[in-house]
């Protein structure tokens, strides 16, 4: 019988700087990316399910209240971030949960809390657009051999776009009084915001098709093009994520300076040179942690303990991908459940209102006459 060959636990490896450093290999395989991809897949499936229900609900009213009736899925309001922001301000100012699109507010609240606890985990674990972007970047690497990195001046200037967009939304909503916010939400336009969004994609104009096609192509060429440069929702999550006590942290003693973490980082962060990643661009995807070969060198963790060995420093400080998944699930389902049991989840309008507004949603124009109320 063959004698099993002992795998050396410690080896000496050349670093990218050419020095030699002792590598203590990780004892357990990293499963973060398999787990994250499962979570992404399940969330895409949930969104597809909500999308089908919403489409059937709209078709019911478009057919004049005939055919299959499916209740309106309130979860679809997650695609109304502006309504979510307006409602959040209304709730902060008045203490009352708005009756129109309350789910948009609760979902935004859940994702903000997620960002406060787990950096921008929403973007890389849940957001279907983030998942699609990741898929497009991988497809781009297959087709073109690699993704492009824009020069620093272009990258920095383009990154400011999402903050400009966010600033515009925040400025407009910030200037509105509670009465104005309520007034806007209760206009036919506000009531039908989700139907109008569905119609935008159903009856996309040639301009919209060209713009969407261009975004798809750019996302194949440049990793996370939409998320990195244009998404105001991600910009908001990134700013809030600065509060997160959990960050990607590197242990300089355990690290062998191989640079593998920085190479795989989709946000092009210098993970191999910093001791903690504070950046608003870190989406807690854990790809850097998965790529790291050294035990206790890179973690998604709270601040380390003061101790002699890396194992002691990180003892009970690091969050495993299972714990990250549990926190995400707890916040998401916990907040949805809370909204449901307190009867604040659904927008309940009389059937006659939907009968009149849904088939005419395309003809409803933006209520410019709703003033800031100040
Ligand atoms: S630093 Fe790590 S967790 Fe953050 S974006 Fe880069 S690879 Fe993902
Ligand atoms: S932290 Fe980065 S540079 Fe250090 S060992 Fe891990 S992958 Fe290599």
What is the pLDDT averaged over residues 272-277? 97
Residue 255 CA, ligand 2 centroid: distance in Å: 5
Tell me which residue has its CA closest to atom 2 in ligand 1.
Answer: 288
What is the pLDDT averaged over residues 106-129? 98
Interacting residues of 197 by C-beta distance below 8 A, sequence separation 6+: 79, 80
Interval 84-106: pLDDT, tens: 999 999 999 999 999 999 999 99
On the question of pLDDT at 4 being above 50, the answer is no
- Asked if 120 and 241 touch (Cβ cutoff 8 Å), the reply is yes
Count helices and strands (H / E) in the chain: 17, 4
DSSP characters over 324-367? HHHHHHHHHHHHHHHHHHTT-SS----HHHHHHHGGGGGGPPP-
Q: Which residues line ligand 1 (CB under 6 A)?
A: 248, 265-267, 269, 271, 277, 282-288
What is the pLDDT averaged over residues 226-235? 97
Return the domain boundaries, the chain.
11-32+246-320, 34-62+69-241+325-345
On the question of pLDDT at 1 being above 70, the answer is no
Interacting residues of 64 by C-beta distance below 8 A, sequence separation 6+: 355, 359
Say how far residue 126 (Cα) sits from the centre of its chain: 6
In degrees and rounded to multiples of 5, residue 249 shows phi and psi of -130, 140
Which residues, in sequence order, are bridge partners of residue 247?
A: 301
In degrees and rounded to multiples of 5, residue 327 shows phi and psi of -65, -45
Per-residue confidence (pLDDT) for residue 374, from 0 to 100: 43
Residue among 28, 46, 108 nearest 321 (CA): 28
Per-residue confidence (pLDDT) for residue 20, from 0 to 100: 65
Split at pLDDT 50, 70, 90, the class of 10 is low
Residue 72 CA, ligand 1 centroid: distance in Å: 37
- Could you tell which of 247, 283, 324 is best to mutate to test the pocket of ligand 1, judged by most ligand atoms within 8 Å of the CB? 283
Residue 346, burial from CB neighbour count under 10 angstroms (0-12, 13-18, 19+) = middle
> Which ligand is located closest to the Cα atom of residue 261?
2
pLDDT > 70 fraction of the chain, expressed in percent and rounded: 93
Residue 247 CA, ligand 1 centroid: distance in Å: 9
Split at pLDDT 50, 70, 90, the class of 11 is low
Tell me which residue has its CA closest to atom 5 in ligand 2.
Answer: 255
Interacting residues of 199 by C-beta distance below 8 A, sequence separation 6+: 361, 362
What is the pLDDT averaged over residues 167-182? 97
Per-residue confidence (pLDDT) for residue 5, from 0 to 100: 39
Residue 213 CA, ligand 1 centroid: distance in Å: 27
Interval 241-256: pLDDT, tens: 999 999 999 999 999 9
On the question of pLDDT at 238 being above 90, the answer is yes
Mean pLDDT over the full length of the chain = 93
């Amino acid at each position: 019988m063959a004698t099993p060959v002992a795998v050396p636990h410690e080896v000496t490896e050349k670093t990218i700087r050419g020095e030699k450093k002792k590598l203590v290999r990780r004892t357990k395989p990293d499963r973060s990316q398999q787990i994250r991809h499962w979570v992404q897949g399940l969330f895409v499936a949930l969104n597809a399910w909500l999308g089908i229900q919403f489409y059937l609900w709209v078709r019911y009213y478009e057919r004049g209240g005939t055919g299959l009736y499916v209740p309106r899925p309130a979860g679809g309001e997650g695609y109304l971030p502006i309504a979510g922001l307006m409602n959040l301000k209304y709730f902060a100012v008045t203490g009352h949960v708005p009756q129109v699109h309350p789910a948009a507010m609760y979902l935004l609240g859940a994702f903000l809390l997620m960002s406060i606890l787990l950096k921008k985990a929403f973007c890389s674990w849940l957001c279907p657009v983030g998942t699609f972007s990741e898929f497009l970047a991988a497809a781009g690497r297959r087709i073109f051999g690699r993704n492009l990195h824009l020069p620093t001046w272009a990258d920095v200037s383009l990154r400011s776009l999402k903050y400009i967009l966010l600033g515009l939304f925040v400025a407009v909503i910030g200037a509105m009084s509670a009465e104005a916010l309520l007034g806007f939400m209760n206009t036919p336009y506000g009531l039908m915001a989700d139907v109008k969004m569905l119609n935008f994609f159903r009856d996309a104009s040639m301009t919209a098709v060209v713009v969407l096609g261009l975004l798809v192509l750019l996302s194949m060429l440049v990793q996370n093009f939409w998320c990195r440069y244009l998404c105001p929702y991600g910009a908001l999550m990134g700013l809030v994520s600065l509060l997160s006590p959990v960050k990607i942290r590197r242990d300089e003693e355990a690290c062998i300076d191989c640079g593998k973490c920085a190479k795989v980082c989709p946000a092009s962060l210098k993970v191999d040179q910093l001791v903690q990643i504070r950046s608003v661009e870190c989406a807690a995807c854990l790809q850097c942690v998965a790529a790291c070969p050294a035990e206790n060198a890179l973690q998604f963790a709270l601040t380390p303990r003061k101790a002699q060995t890396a194992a002691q420093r990180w003892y009970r400080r690091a969050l495993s991908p299972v714990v990250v998944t549990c926190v995400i699930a707890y916040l998401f389902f916990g907040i949805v459940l809370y909204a449901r049991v307190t009867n604040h989840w659904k927008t309940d309008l009389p059937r006659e209102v939907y009968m009149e507004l849904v088939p005419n949603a395309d003809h409803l124009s933006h209520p410019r006459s709703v003033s800031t109320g100040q």
